[in-house]
Amino acid sequence: MDTIVKTLLRLPVLSATKFPVGLQSRVENVIRTIKRKSTEVCMIMICGEGGSGKTTLAKAIYNQIHGRFAAKSLIEGIEQINEIRGDLRLQEQLLLDLLKTKVEIDSVEMGRSMIRERLSGKRVLIVLDDVPRINAPLVRECRNWFEGGSVIIITTRNENLQRVYRADSVFRVKQMNAKESLELLSWHAFREAKPPEEYHFRAKRVVDDCRGLPLALEVIGTYLYERTEEEWISVLFKLEKIPQHDVKQQLQISFDGLSNEMEKYLFLDVCFSFVGKGRTYASKILNGCGIDADSGIRVLIERSLINVNKNNKLGMHPLLRQMGREIIDKISLEEPERNSQLWIDTEEEYVLSKHTVRSSFIYGFETSFGSGCFLMCNIFVFLRSFHLSGQESFRDSLSQEIICANVIL
């Protein structure tokens, strides 16, 4: 029984992505290189534009080979970790995964020496996903400390990192060819490997517009699932008007097509406040605002707009998150009184200008939970900042539900 479960866990198709079109050959390609360098520390870099499948490829490789390593770590979405404490977080996470002990690190220097002391001579597998530029010296040094046979895989959008990290091999994730693209789109849109005859022509045109980018194919494909012919035509019409390199605008077709405001605001809420937070935690807060968050989140997951990882944490593709932020920017420009620019500064603290807080608070309070959850969510952020600063009188005037939510915060 255990061996069955273990074998299944090792199958790359099972966890990396829903429809692994063309994945296996790419995985094997990289693994061949790793095998060739099995006596030294092997650093591999996977580059490609956003949405081209770097993370999926890295995860699939990890799944396939991690059984052979005692110490291993896969850290996703590094770019989204806050920059100031990002290096520390990264070091802590590495030590936690590799040594299975929780450590607190006060400075990068301390983390560096800890990694050196505790991990020297170990054979490790490390996957660092979506690295902007963090900690190049650390990663470079790591190579000298680890035992031969160790593997470090880095995925990044920034091709220049190749020189910084001195990677042994660089894999550029190639765009999917027309055949693969059509298959991936069909899986998402029809749940079949090929589109039905009558849709063949339209599907091909969508594929052309997506330029072999798996993320666009997935998001647009799931959006087109069980759509009528008219809806297909309207999507094609929209796609044609979008410049081919503007992936975010292509992705926005799916956002615009959400069936009601609640779902749209929910997406923005997740984008702003709940990436990396537990799904139950997010639903609790949002349910407290009278929103049917559970079903809303389900819809967003089905549309591939957000995802949930193995630890039940909400996540979002960086490009989609960027898209969400741009939408919010636009909203706040068009409706300055709402001023919804509550930027998240670090993972836990929110930066709020006093004016912003007051206006959004009053606005939200006056409309009395009537104007969509996005604002409500800001109020929680706001409440929390008050809570932290000790001014609790505001809370008394709010409904029980909201106080409950505030307690959760």
Partner 1 sequence: MEFASSSSKLPRMYDVLINFNGEDIQRKFVSHLDSALSAVGFTTFLHHHNAVQSTHFEPPILNLCRVAIVVFTKTYSASAWCLHQLQQIIQWHQTYSRHVLPVYYEIQPSDVRLQKGHFGKAFKATAYQTFSRKQLEHAMSRWSQALTKTANFYGWDESNYR
Q: Which residues of 251-276 are buried (b: 16+ CB within 10 A; e: fewer)?
A: bbbbbebbeeebbbbbbbbbbbbbbe
**401 binds partner 1, rule: CB under 8 A:** no
Rounded Cα distance, 356 and 28, in Å:
52
Q: Considering only residues 244 through 273, tell me which ones interact with partner 1, judged by CB under 8 A.
A: 258-260, 262-263
Q: Can you tell me whether residue 307 is helix, strand or coil?
A: strand
Binding mask 363-382 for partner 1 (x = CB under 8 A): ------xx------------
Shortest gap between Cβ of 224 and partner 1 (angstroms)? 11
Q: Considering only residues 204 through 223, tell me which ones interact with partner 1, judged by CB under 8 A.
A: 222
Rounded Cα distance, 248 and 322, in Å:
8
What is the chain's length? 409
**3 binds partner 1, rule: CB under 8 A:** yes
**Alpha helical stretches, state H, 104-177:** 108-119, 136-145, 161-165
**62 binds partner 1, rule: CB under 8 A:** no
Shortest gap between Cβ of 184 and partner 1 (angstroms)? 12
**1 binds partner 1, rule: CB under 8 A:** yes
CB 305 within 8 A of CB 297: no
Residue choice 68, 191, 330, 358 for contact with partner 1 (CB under 8 A): 191
Shortest gap between Cβ of 230 and partner 1 (angstroms)? 17
Burial class (CB in 10 A: 0-12, 13-18, 19+), 170: middle
Residues 6+ apart with CB under 8 A from 240: 209
Q: Which is nearer to partner 1, 89 or 264 (CB)?
A: 264
Rounded Cα distance, 273 and 380, in Å:
10
Shortest gap between Cβ of 251 and partner 1 (angstroms)? 18
Q: Which is nearer to partner 1, 120 or 295 (CB)?
A: 295
Shortest gap between Cβ of 295 and partner 1 (angstroms)? 4
What is the rounded radius of gyration, in angstroms, for the C-alpha atoms of the chain? 23
Rounded Cα distance, 235 and 253, in Å:
7
Q: Which is nearer to partner 1, 7 or 280 (CB)?
A: 7
**229 binds partner 1, rule: CB under 8 A:** no
Shortest gap between Cβ of 107 and partner 1 (angstroms)? 36
Q: Considering only residues 171 through 190, tell me which ones interact with partner 1, judged by CB under 8 A.
A: 190
Measured torsion, CA atoms of residues 319, 322, 328, 334, in degrees rounded to the nearest 10 = -90
Beta bridge partners of 314: 308
Shortest gap between Cβ of 132 and partner 1 (angstroms)? 30
Report helix angle 247-256 to 318-334, nearest 10.
70
Beta bridge partners of 74: 127
Q: How far is CA 138 from CA 143, 164, 386, in A?
A: 9, 11, 39
Shortest gap between Cβ of 7 and partner 1 (angstroms)? 7
Residue choice 109, 198, 226, 366 for contact with partner 1 (CB under 8 A): 226
Q: Considering only residues 279 through 338, tell me which ones interact with partner 1, judged by CB under 8 A.
A: 289-292, 295-296, 298-299, 302, 310
**343 binds partner 1, rule: CB under 8 A:** no
Binding mask 111-150 for partner 1 (x = CB under 8 A): ----------------------------------------
> Taking contact as CB under 8 A, which single stretch among the options 6-14, 146-154, 169-177, 337-345 is the one that binds partner 1?
6-14
Residue choice 8, 96, 351, 362 for contact with partner 1 (CB under 8 A): 8
How many chain residues bind partner 1 (CB under 8 A)?
A: 37
Rounded Cα distance, 144 and 63, in Å:
25
Q: Which is nearer to partner 1, 4 or 333 (CB)?
A: 4
Q: Can you tell me whether residue 368 is helix, strand or coil?
A: coil
Q: Which is nearer to partner 1, 199 or 350 (CB)?
A: 199
**16 binds partner 1, rule: CB under 8 A:** no
Q: What DSSP designation does 170 have? A: E
Q: What DSSP designation does 102 have? A: -
Rounded Cα distance, 367 and 363, in Å:
6
By CB under 8 A, name the binding residues for partner 1.
1-5, 7-9, 11, 13-14, 18, 24, 190-193, 222, 225-226, 258-260, 262-263, 289-292, 295-296, 298-299, 302, 310, 369-370
